[in-house]
Structure 1
């Protein structure tokens, strides 16, 4: 059975709104909620970037059943992996075991703020691998000292360690990443509905069966033209793809890179409008590829309450019917 989730999109909503949306999404019946972890929005028109970990701490207190996840946190530049380990352990305790730590190699957009250079992708993956080892070691509750290629840890210890630790999902985008991270992670995270990614993860993953967690944007609105216009205004960066999106440093860069993306281009890649059957059908590539979990992004803060009040429940029924 496929699980369906709701995305807390920190780039487009303020912290109080996100907590309210999280509570509503649980009431509607979504199985899990994922939160982005950004220092900048993709485009200035999105207008927000609250601290995801504070938001998730509040969400853990206003919800009781829905699973929570970072989608995703980069534990290598803006955050030291020892700090991520402490945050994840604390959130797991606050949520009473409902949290999964989603990790990835990061985007320049968010990591440049600390003034460090932006490494090439191979080095970023080296850093991510080392960070995962550090986080795993600390979640044992032992004192950890680490002298690695990229990180040092001096007699660190987590004093509040959740029973069972924290499951780790790792964001991957190709065969090399899967071969490297499937043995290290508990679950796979990717935004590309490619069957080969699922198959490759299954081949290389060790231990208990893992989840394959995807994400897809939609833009529900009673007026299809309004939905397309909103998706174009806020999500035209989506057309760039991972290899472009990872390296651009500022919202102005994304605005420049997406200046020739037309509303009709966005409408071809993001299901827009009031037709719930069409919106639900847009997730089918993930189902066909073998994903176990699919998180929905409703584009835009404007109309988010109305989406959750009027459309999210009926949409969830149609998703489950697929």
Structure 2
């Protein structure tokens, strides 16, 4: 059975608006929430980036939906011992409905303290050690750790949830997917790629949950939707490893000058036709994902939630049994 979630974009909306959208999502029948964890937006048009842990605290009082960070980088900008503390508190606030989604991060957010941005293999090594520290600290026992990348001395988290916080790991290439399968309680991706899900399951992930998400732009016309999606999220079409290594929003703006509205429209469902949205969900379902999250681009949130509840969701029921 596949469940549908809503993706709260911390790059595009401020904290109060994110909480409002969470309420709208619950009313529209969405079953869970993703929320992004960024220091910067991808470009200046998006224009926001609230501190995710403050927003999660507000979400815990505003909704009963489960929340996953998609995703937190626990390796450079914030020490894993601090992420362990924040995520333990979030899990207590949400009464066990919290999942810590983690990944190896992007220079866009992680270089801000002047740290060297490591190579991909080093970032994965750092992520593995960070996950170990977070799990150890979530036991509530005192931890002293002197590792390859991190030091923790006499640290103990006193406010812990009754059950360990689930940690889902983001993966895009073979090495990161194998790490997710080996260390994660679940898998996170944004690609409807059956091979990635298969690799995760065959590398040790088994029947653990696989989460995914994608963006849409409901609008009165396809052209209007493409225009809005291109203005706000053309960075999604920046190819290769650029998304991991470009250091500032202006660099993404420069790189994405090569992206046309038509290129965005090829991958982002836009406009008023519900079938395009249904087809996109089914590509993720067919790829083997258990949980699918959708994000509406732009300010027209109420119209999107009404459209989704009345015109899209009824056609998804056969895919959810």
Same fold (TM over 0.5): yes
Q: Counterpart in 2 of 1:303?
A: 300
Q: Distance in 1 between matches of 2:104 and 2:82?
A: 16
2:227 pairs with 1:216: no
CA displacement at 1:164 relative to structure 2: 1.1
- 2:274 paired with 1:276: yes
Residues 247-286 of structure 1: pairs in structure 2 closer than 5 A: 247-286=245-284
Of 172-181 and 133-142, more deviation after overlay is shown by: 172-181
1:22 aligns with 2:14: no
Q: Could you say which residue in structure 1 is the equivalent of 2:78?
A: 79
Cα deviation 1:75-118 (Å, max 9, x = unaligned): 01111101111111111111111000000000111112122111
Three-state SS of the structure 2 residue aligned to 1:271 is coil
Equivalent-residue separation in structure 1 for 2:76 and 2:6 (angstroms): 27
**Residue of structure 2 in register with 1:179 after alignment:** 178
What does 1:132-171 align with in structure 2 at a 5 Å threshold? 132-171=131-170
Deviations 1:43-64 (A, max 9, x none): 1011111111111110111112
- Aligned partners of 1:45, 1:124: CA distance in 2, in Å? 29
With structure 1 as the length reference, what TM-score do the two structures score?
A: 0.96
CA contact (8 A) 2:168 2:180 kept: no
Contact preservation (8 Å) 2:41, 2:249:
yes
Indicate if the aligned counterparts of 1:178 and 1:197 stay in contact, CA closer than 8 A. yes
Where does residue 196 of structure 2 map in the other structure?
Answer: 197
Q: Which sits farther off after the overlay, 190-199 or 226-235?
A: 190-199
8 Å contact from structure 2 (residues 66, 97) kept in 1: yes
The 8 Å contact of residues 180 and 186 in structure 2, kept in 1 or not, is answered as no
Q: Deviations over 1:163-196 (max 9, x none)?
A: 1110010001122222233121100011122112
Kindly state the Cα deviation for residue 201 of structure 1 after the two structures are TM-superposed: 1.3
CA distance in 2, matches of 1:317, 1:251: 38
Check whether the contact 1:30–1:316 (CA below 8 A) recurs between aligned residues: no
What is the SS of the residue equivalent to 2:164? coil
Query: How far apart, CA to CA, are the structure 2 residues paired with 1:250 and 1:133?
Result: 30
CA distance in 1, matches of 2:240, 2:309: 30
- Number of residue-to-residue matches in the alignment: 318
**Aligned twin of 1:57:** 57
Distance 1:320 1:53, change over 3 A: farther
**1:246 CA drift (Å):** 1.0
Deviations 1:248-291 (A, max 9, x none): 11111011101021111111111100111211211222111111
Give TM-score, length-normalised by structure 2: 0.96
CA distance in 2, matches of 1:143, 1:241: 43
Supply the distance in 2 between the matched residues of 1:242 and 1:284 (Cα, whole angstroms): 25
Q: Does 1:313 align with 2:309?
A: yes
Q: How many angstroms does 1:205 deviate by? A: 2.2
Alignment partner, residue 70 of structure 1: 69
Runs of 4+ in 1 over 2 A off after TM superposition: 178-181, 314-322
* Preserved contact between residue 217 and residue 269 of structure 2 (Cα < 8 Å): yes
CA distance in 1, matches of 2:128, 2:314: 39
CA shift for structure 1 position 20: 0.5
Counterpart for residue 229 of structure 1: 227
Q: Separation in 2 of the partners of 1:97 and 1:215?
A: 22
Gaps in structure 2 of 5+ consecutive residues: none
- State the SS of the aligned residue for 2:154: strand
- Counterpart-to-counterpart distance in 1, 2:41 and 2:182: 32
Greater mean alpha carbon deviation, residues 122-131 or residues 234-243: 234-243
For the Cα contact (< 8 Å) 1:2–1:320, is it kept in 2? no
